[in-house]
Amino acid sequence: MVTKQTTSPLLAIRGLITHFQVKETIVKAVDDVSLDIYPQEVLALVGETGCGKSVLALSILRLLPKNSQIEGSIRFNGVEILEASEEELRKLRGKEIGMIPQSQATSLNPLLKVGWQVREVLQLHKTLGKFEAREKVVKLFTRLQLPDPAKKMNYYPHQLSGGMRQRVLVSMGVACQPKLILVDEPTKGLDAVLRKEVVTMLGEEAAENRSSMLLITHDFSVAAVLADRIAVMYAGEIVEMGSAAEILEKPGHPYTQSLLDSLPGRGFKPIRGFSPSLSSLPAGCRFQPRCRDACPDCSALHPKIALTGANHYVRCFLC
């Protein structure tokens, strides 16, 4: 991992702020986030519903609704995404940065054959003939272990099982061998059997394409299997970031600790209280009202993220 970080990052996010104006209030979905993703690295962004992790992914692709406001910098492979034109962005999306969406049930067009949908991604970004593109889709389907790939191309989404649809979506995300794959909650709502399948498949694809991956999940066990590094997000901020092993074994931030302790296999101890609304955040540290080790300082001052070990950052006074 150390060797990886001596090279320059593929994606460098600095001071990213994404806010939404909803009626009179401002929703601070992403607040001052900085992170790097290095070539061939899998970074898992772990957080709970409403912490802003999906908005962060959409910010990278600049696929945000009109009432949003972005500040900061997102550099991908030397290109400043926040200053790129629509044309440049279109070339990045799908080709350089692949996205695997959250819901296998609704992310495919129900009226088009799945083979056509994957081929379209290929033909959009590569000068491939119809025949070559079809060949490529069969190869992709074979690699992703879709049974009877040539035949499956002519199926409509509803004729495939959930697991197979998930494979089709993955094949669309990786079709152009993107340098970076954004994966949004790949296991949400899946049962244990399917979850295991999806996790295995994602790991193989990232290795096969030598892609980097930003894995957005609420599930630590998925992150544990796939990620090199883990960033933990809470209420719009990154509260802890470090190598996967360190985060899972020696979590520094009380939120990470509590979140791990609330897993059924690791104590099953609930965190008290509720996640704050992104439009009315508590003063001081955002986790302080729920924190088991909070001290008076925590409600007065907002902690900065700081280095506590080798590449291990924690946003806490650690009192």
Partner 1 sequence: MDAALVANKRNKEVVVRSVKRDKLLGFSSAVVLIIVLVGVLAPLIMPHDPISVSFADKVKPPSFQYPFGTDPLGRCVLSRVIQGTRTSLVAAAVIVSISGVGGVLVGLISGYKGGKADSLIMRSVDVMLAFPSIILAMALIVSMGPGLGSVIVALTLVHWTGYARLVRAEVLTLKESEFVEAARAMGNSSSRIIFKYILPNVIAPVMVMASLDIAHIVLSMASLSFLGLGAQPPEAEWGAMINQGREFIRTAPHVTLFPGLALMVTILAFSLLGDSLRDYFDPRLREGYIE
Partner 2 sequence: MLIEVKNLVKEYSVGIFNKSGVRAVDDVNFCVQQGETLGLVGESGCGKSTVARLMLMLIKPTSGSVRFEGQELTGMSQAKLAKIRREMQIVFQQPQQSLHPRMKISESLAEPLKLYRLVKSKTEEKNRVKQLLDEVGLSEEHLERYPHELSGGQAQRVAIARVLALKPKFIVADEPTSMLDVSVQAQILSLIKKLQQEHTIGLLFISHDLEVVQAVSDRVAVMHQGKLVEMGSRQQIFRQPQHSYTKYLTSTILEMPTSIMRNDVACQ
Residues that bind partner 2 (CB under 8 A): 1, 48-50, 162, 189-196, 199, 218-222, 224-225, 228, 243-246, 248-249, 258-259, 262-266, 268-271, 274-275
DSSP character string of 293-306: T--HHHHHS-PPPE
Please tell me whether residue 83 binds partner 1 under the rule CB under 8 A. Answer: yes
In angstroms, give the least distance from the CB of 247 to partner 2. Answer: 10
The interface with partner 1 within residues 276-305 (CB under 8 A) comprises 305
CB distance 130 to 183 below 8 Å: no
C-alpha count within 13 angstroms, C-beta hemisphere, residue 20: 18
In angstroms, give the least distance from the CB of 196 to partner 2. Answer: 4
CB distance 124 to 105 below 8 Å: no
Give the integer Cα–Cα distance in Å for 233 and 240.
Answer: 7
Interface residue with partner 1 among 64, 79, 84, 224 (CB under 8 A) is: 64
Please tell me whether residue 130 binds partner 1 under the rule CB under 8 A. Answer: no
Residue 71 binding partner per list partner 2, partner 1, none, with a CB distance cut-off of 5 to 8 Å that depends on partner kind: partner 1
Closer by beta carbon to partner 1, 54 or else 171 = 54
Please tell me whether residue 90 binds partner 1 under the rule CB under 8 A. Answer: no
Interface residue with partner 1 among 52, 98, 276, 284 (CB under 8 A) is: 52
**Length of the chain as a residue count:** 319
3-state secondary structure of 62: coil
* Closest alpha carbon to 181 in 206, 152, 153, 156: 206
Closer by beta carbon to partner 2, 199 or else 314 = 199
Please tell me whether residue 72 binds partner 1 under the rule CB under 8 A. Answer: yes
3-state secondary structure of 256: helix
3-state secondary structure of 9: coil
Please tell me whether residue 128 binds partner 1 under the rule CB under 8 A. Answer: no
Residue 259 binding partner per list partner 1, partner 2, none, with a CB distance cut-off of 5 to 8 Å that depends on partner kind: partner 2
* Closest alpha carbon to 11 in 205, 212, 183: 212
Please tell me whether residue 59 binds partner 1 under the rule CB under 8 A. Answer: no
* Cα 105–Cα 109–Cα 110 angle in degrees, nearest 5: 75
Residue 64 binding partner per list partner 1, partner 2, none, with a CB distance cut-off of 5 to 8 Å that depends on partner kind: partner 1
3-state secondary structure of 311: coil
Closer by beta carbon to partner 2, 86 or else 249 = 249
Beta strands (DSSP E) in 3-66 are 11-22, 25-37, 42-46
Residues that bind partner 1 (CB under 8 A): 12, 14-15, 20-23, 27, 29, 34, 50, 52, 54-55, 64-73, 80, 82-83, 305, 313
